[in-house]
Amino acid sequence: MRTISAQTARRLAITRQRLAGPSSKPNADGILDVVRDLGCLQLDPTSVVAPSHQLVVFSRVGPYQRKHLETLLWEERQLFEGWAHAASIVLTEHYPIHRWIMRRYAAGKWSWTPRALAWACAAGLVGGLALAAFYRALAIGKMGIGAPVTSVLTAGVPVVVAAFTQGLPQPIQVAGLLLALAALWLMSRPDGTLSNCITFEWLTTRSI
């Protein structure tokens, strides 16, 4: 068995995700190469700047014409919309794999186990209650406190759970959590108390 260092594994993962190294050409062939390396482009209905799959392509090839992606999907049919780990744009050359999943699902052989279903229901219930409590807190309290506290808990709880299940966090993770706590303290201070500490003029004079 061949082993590699953690640093090599990180570099390999970043390179294969097309986040390092030479960029592909911003044309149909370049986009297809990106999808081959990534495996799929996840679809997301949320679109603040642009749909997520378009942003992923942009981050790998730079400015491109969306018609190239549309051509691959609807004219050349080298890509199609399917289900990978989620709704995604996948490679047509991988269709036999997806066809096997489609047949199992249609035959009722692709179902969740009772254990997985129970965990999913519990997660959905807890998540719904937490969201309701969060918006209730924003309605009756100070948003400057409620939102930062929620953010820190969202970051901190996984760190605590991971400490028990996977070992102690790395120093950089601990530093990130401490910075988040410091940011919470700064944001939750009463109005005006930071005016003598940090101002735009202070930042601009320090940057010169």
The letter for the amino acid at 129 is L
Question: Do residues 130 and 178 share a domain?
Answer: no
Residue 93 and residue 68: Cα distance in Å, rounded?
18
Question: Do residues 80 and 132 share a domain?
Answer: no
Q: How many CA atoms lie within 13 A of 6 on its CB side?
A: 0
Asked if residue 1 is part of any domain, the answer here is no
> Nearest-5° angle of CA 7, CA 12, CA 14?
95
Domains identified in the chain, total number: 3
For residue range 104-136, list pLDDT tens digits in order.
Answer: 877 777 667 788 888 889 988 988 888 888 778
**How do beta strands 79-83 and 87-91 pair?**
antiparallel
What range does the domain containing 182 cover?
142-208
Is the pTM here over 0.95, yes or no? no
Question: Do residues 52 and 124 share a domain?
Answer: no
Residue 172 and residue 158: Cα distance in Å, rounded?
15
Question: Do residues 75 and 125 share a domain?
Answer: no
Q: Give the Cβ contact number of residue 56 at 10 Å.
A: 19
As beta bridge partners, residue 79 has: 91
Please choose, from the candidates 84, 14, 25, 105, the residue with its C-alpha nearest in 3D space to the C-alpha of residue 57.
25
Instruction: Supply the pLDDT for residue 57.
Output: 94
Report which secondary-structure segment, H or E, holds 99: helix 95-106
Instruction: Supply the pLDDT for residue 200.
Output: 44
Question: Do residues 77 and 27 share a domain?
Answer: yes
What distances in angstroms separate CA 12 from CA 1, 5, 9, 39, 197, one per listed residue? 18, 11, 5, 15, 44
Asked if residue 60 is part of any domain, the answer here is yes
Instruction: Supply the pLDDT for residue 168.
Output: 77
Asked if residue 25 is part of any domain, the answer here is yes
Question: Do residues 12 and 35 share a domain?
Answer: yes
Asked if residue 43 is part of any domain, the answer here is yes
Question: Do residues 119 and 90 share a domain?
Answer: no
Residue 181 and residue 28: Cα distance in Å, rounded?
46
Alpha helices for 17-83 (secondary structure H): 28-38, 52-61, 66-70
Asked if residue 165 is part of any domain, the answer here is yes
Residue 173 and residue 169: Cα distance in Å, rounded?
6
Structure tokens at 144: 């400057």
Question: Do residues 147 and 188 share a domain?
Answer: yes
Asked if residue 50 is part of any domain, the answer here is yes
Question: Do residues 10 and 92 share a domain?
Answer: yes
Question: Do residues 44 and 71 share a domain?
Answer: yes
Question: Do residues 56 and 133 share a domain?
Answer: no
For residue range 170-196, list pLDDT tens digits in order.
Answer: 788 778 778 877 776 676 665 555 445
Q: What is the pLDDT along the chain (208 residues), one digit of tens a residue?
A: 889 998 999 999 899 899 888 888 999 999 999 999 999 999 987 777 888 899 999 999 999 999 999 999 999 999 999 988 889 999 999 999 888 888 887 777 766 778 888 888 998 898 888 888 877 877 776 666 666 677 777 767 777 777 787 777 778 877 877 887 777 667 666 555 544 554 444 444 554 4
Question: Do residues 136 and 149 share a domain?
Answer: no
Report which secondary-structure segment, H or E, holds 89: strand 87-91
